[in-house]
Structure 1
Amino acid sequence: MTAIFAYAKGNNSAIASDRKRTCREGVILYEDVKKVARWRDSIPFSGAGASGFIDKIRNYLTDDAANKDYPISSTGIKDALDSATRNIKSELRESGKSDDEIYKLVHGTIIAAFPSYLTEDSFIFKYSLRDEKGSKILSTITTAGSDTDAFQIIAIGELSSQSASAAFNLDIWAANCIKTAHLACPKYVSASFDLNYTSVTEEGNFQHIEDGYSAFPISPNARFTISW
Structure 2
Amino acid sequence: MTQRSMTRYAAIALFAAIPTAVPADGPSFDCLKAETPVETAICGDPVLSALDREMSTVYSAAMIDKSASDGDAGQALYDSQKTWLAQRDICAKTDAAAPDCLIKSYAAQLAAIAHNSETAYLGQHITSGPITFNCGAENGGFWYLAIRTEPEMMYLSRAGLGSVLTATELDAAGQWAIAFHDAETGRRFRYLDGGAASAYEDGKGAILTCQPTAARKN
TM-score under structure 2 length normalisation? 0.26
Higher relative contact order (CA closer than 8 Å, sequence separation 6+) = 1
TM-score under structure 1 length normalisation? 0.25
Larger fraction in helix: 2
Larger fraction in strand: 1
